Structure 1
Amino acid sequence: MILIKNALNLDGFRTSILIEGNKILKVQSDVAQELSPQATIIDASNMLAISGFFNAHTHAAMTIFRGYQDDLALQDWLNKIFKLEAAYVDETMVYWCSKLACLEMVSCGTTGFMDMYFFEDQVAKSALDVGLRVVIGEGLLSFQTPFCADFKEGLKKTFDLKEKYKDHPKAKVSFAPHSLYTVEKNDLELLSNTIDKNDFVQIHLAENLTEVNTVLSKFGQPPTFVLEEFGLLNSNTYLAHCVHLTDDEIELIQKRNAHVIHNPQSNMKLSSGISSVCKMIQKGVDVCLGTDGCASNNNLDMIEELRSAALLQKLFNPSYMNAKLAVRIAQNFGGFFDVALSEGKLADVVLIDLDAIEAIPLYNPASFLAYAANSKSVDTVIIDGKIIYKNKEFVDVDVQEVKFNVKKIAKKIGSL
């Protein structure tokens, strides 16, 4: 049992949070309950308590390529990254580099993430070893990848993963066709005819104009309508980027209850453009937030990401995305896990240091979190009722071991 006493919430009220097992038992101004001698009591008088962040789109193992290839547009960048992956991605690399990503995410207040890459069983293993919730998706492409000879093999291995994790409380499996420009029509048909209507699907969509024009040439219609044609657009579909959508596509996404994952920093870095996510939200589209991978961002800081999301929308209108909305989309678990800072929900709680220099003075907690806080503001992270990170240090993970192994792998690539 964990009792968090006298924390500030986003609305500016003092609250106490009682956690029992992996659930939040009580959230109220003062919890008057007899506690067992084994209970952990946290005095959060100088803390802001929030629900954990969900990084809805990333490629965790790409921490190994952080800073290796910068300052290119998407297609040129991808051509170089695909060659790097063919040369260096293997099971060992994915485990250690994903584990490094997990440490970075936790230290930034993230308690769950959705991943698309290769050797995804190792991504799940690294996430669960650290303590995070995870949604994995083996990258499905119509050509050979570091893990699979072709799309069909990748599909089979995804079904194997689905069977392995079918009853796991903290790990879920999605089908992850990379994009409409890297997957052929026959493979889209195979995917559509093979998966169940309740299966999760994640895909890159309308990331830049070159992609949109390629899809128009290849399929004769905009990207979202291609997914609709193949029966791959529904409430279990997660669309990453969505920078260049028509109004008709936004309307179709809303009609099918699909989810959009906004990646503002990656979109800027790869010169892809600015997504009109506030228009989507106003139309009733469910929007989540993601960092993308470290090769195109170059970090996994969701506090930075939500700030970028809020500030970019102010180029359209200063009030389109206020501080609370930016925080809310960063906390949107997309229906994967029932996480929230309320009674009966899964106990993912993050405590933010309000004694930090950047937190003084404090008038509006949401404004502080969106516009002034940073990853160093994160003091404590509780996931599934377990303290993973406390006083800005990991409780059970050997951080130096992870660093050592990633540096060892990076030396082969040419790190300094």
Structure 2
Amino acid sequence: MLAVYFFREDFVKNYLKNMLLIGTLFLVGCSSLIQKKENASIIIKNGTVLTMDKNNKVINSGVVIIKDNKIISVGNKELLKVYSAKKIIDAENGIIMPGMINTHNHLPMIAFRGLGEEGIKNRLFAYFFPLEGEKLNRDLIYKATIHGSIDMALSGVTTYADMYYHMDEMAKATKDVGIRGVLGETVIKFPVVDAKTPYGGIEYAINFIEEYKNDDLIIPAFGPHAPYTVSKEKMQEIENLSKQYNVPIMIHVGEFDDEDKRLNLKNKSVIEYMDSIGVLNNRVLLAHAIHLNEKDLDIIKKREASIAYNPMANAKGATGIARAYEMLNKNIKVGLGTDGPMSSNQVDLFRTLSYASSMQRLKYNDRTIMTPDVVVKMATIGGAQALNLDKKIGSIEPGKLADIVIIETKSPNMMPNYDPFATLVFQANPSNVDTTIVNGKIIVENKKLKTYDIKKNIKQMKEIENDIAKFAKELAEKAKKIN
């Protein structure tokens, strides 16, 4: 009986031991069936996602997953079960949208913002150019670009296109703040601050392109000023170089109603002239494009060129209203721009959004056109298409670069928020931008810039203002006397 007892005790011990082992294996097996979360860099949750994809998909209570510098997944709250990240951003029912794209600017002119507003008739030639000739230099261009880039980052602009001088200084400043730039070195027929000889900008542009052709934030380009300030031969040379280096060309076209006369054209428009000399193609971005006819638009469509629509600057300068509604109906690529900070006094796109809609409705006497979703498209994927960057940016889709902004909807001006597109176009302003992410890096968080010392920049801009003020006032008095 005693032996039987010990047998039974050993049996029970072994049985319990085996059961414990089996239970452990079962739990391990079950845990392996539970999907292990994938690592991401940033998760954005709890917002209305305006994807701006080809179907214009909107995701309520949406989630965006970012890994390194790219978007890897977009969807609903189910994604939170799949991904984990050290950085989780709660959008708090805000609007999650692609970073906005300003397709035309002259950013360093922000140093001159507010000048020449005394009713000067020929403001470009009597005031702008002389002011630049006297006061522009490398140091000012760098510091002013810092200031303008900060202004844009805080207002949800993640990419801007620019035509100006000393583009290497602009590139450094743009990268120091952390936004994306398509930067075209200006080419013009007279000496300027960075070129002592006419058309010296071509050589400068080549050097700039060579330096930045593989940069992750800077896309170098050529910026011939206009057909009436760049000769036929130089335009063709720029076109050949643009093709060789596969970089964009940005040019002012149709901004004024007398450009055909400036070129001594007979029975031919400026667009027809550009087409006839072989410099109109899908690498060309036409800034303004106001004074164009239907035939011009058909040529632009055929050549697959793009347009930067600058409604606020054009209204302020009384240069006219571009036919943006017709351009869009012809499937021409159209982005939004502010023009230089002396033209619209803005570098953000919020007021431009409203102008883009309102000016077209006024032009065509039709309040049903240019609906908010169309306007937001121009500020995002439309701008990306105009710059031939739509495979990389402009929408919130897996595989694209993580250029994303979050617009808060808790401020009084944002409430109520029935339609996020209408809220953006007709209610929002730069102060509503909570977060700006560029290339997967958080540039602005909780409405505060993270990449540059704003106090330092304010001091720099005060020094620039003190240096310029007296000369600018004297120049304005002289310019007012010139017809």
- Shorter chain as normaliser: what TM range? over 0.9
Q: Which amino acid aligns with 1:342?
A: E
Matches within 5 A, 1:298-337: 298-315=345-362, 316=364, 317-331=366-380, 332-333=383-384, 334-336=387-389
Residues 69-109 of structure 1: per-residue CA shift (max 9 Å, x gap): 12657743333110000101000000000110001111110
Could you tell me how far apart the structure 2 residues matched to 1:17 and 1:140 are?
Answer: 41
SS of the aligned residue for 1:39 comes to strand
Q: TM-score, normalised by structure 2?
A: 0.82
The alignment-based identity, stated in percent, is 30
Residues 306-349 of structure 1: per-residue CA shift (max 9 Å, x gap): 11101111111212210001001011222236112111111011
2:92, 2:408 within 8 Å by CA — same for their partners in 1? no
Could you tell me how far apart the structure 2 residues matched to 1:74 and 1:301 are?
Answer: 26
Q: 1:209 — aligned with what?
A: 257
Q: Which moved more, 1:8-17 or 1:295-304?
A: 8-17
CA RMSD of aligned residues (A): 1.8
Could you tell me how far apart the structure 2 residues matched to 1:190 and 1:361 are?
Answer: 54
Q: Which amino acid aligns with 1:289?
A: L
Q: 2:283 — aligned with what?
A: 236
SS of the aligned residue for 1:144 comes to coil
Structure 2 segments unaligned to the other structure (5+ residues): 1-40, 51-57, 474-483
Q: 2:110 — aligned with what?
A: 63
Deviation at 1:383, TM superposition (A): 0.7
Structure 1 segments unaligned to the other structure (5+ residues): none
Matches within 5 A, 1:12-411: 13-30=60-77, 31-33=79-81, 39-70=86-117, 72=119, 75-196=122-243, 198-215=246-263, 217-218=264-265, 221-315=268-362, 316=364, 317-331=366-380, 332-333=383-384, 334-336=387-389, 338-339=392-393, 340-411=395-466
Deviation at 1:148, TM superposition (A): 0.5
2:260, 2:268 within 8 Å by CA — same for their partners in 1? no
**CA shift in 2, pair 1:267/1:257, >3 Å:** same
Q: Which moved more, 1:57-66 or 1:219-228?
A: 219-228
2:402, 2:437 within 8 Å by CA — same for their partners in 1? yes
Q: Which amino acid aligns with 2:466?
A: K
Could you tell me how far apart the structure 2 residues matched to 1:195 and 1:239 are?
Answer: 15
Asked whether 1:6 is paired with 2:46, we answer yes
Deviation at 1:184, TM superposition (A): 2.4
Deviation at 1:193, TM superposition (A): 4.4
Could you tell me how far apart the structure 2 residues matched to 1:188 and 1:158 are?
Answer: 14
Residues 205-262 of structure 1: per-residue CA shift (max 9 Å, x gap): 00021334323x2576211112112221111100000011010000000001100100
Q: TM-score, normalised by structure 1?
A: 0.95
Deviation at 1:20, TM superposition (A): 0.5
Deviation at 1:413, TM superposition (A): 0.9
Q: Which moved more, 1:151-160 or 1:118-127?
A: 151-160
Could you tell me how far apart the structure 2 residues matched to 1:302 and 1:76 are?
Answer: 23
Query: Paired residues, what number?
Result: 414
SS of the aligned residue for 1:294 comes to coil
Residues 103-143 of structure 1: per-residue CA shift (max 9 Å, x gap): 11111100011110111111111111111111111111001
Residues 355-383 of structure 1: per-residue CA shift (max 9 Å, x gap): 01011112111110111111111111011
1:9, 1:365 within 8 Å by CA — same for their partners in 2? no
1:71, 1:270 within 8 Å by CA — same for their partners in 2? no
- Structure possessing the higher radius of gyration over alpha carbons: 2
**CA shift in 2, pair 1:42/1:164, >3 Å:** same
Q: Which amino acid aligns with 2:389?
A: F
1:53, 1:330 within 8 Å by CA — same for their partners in 2? yes
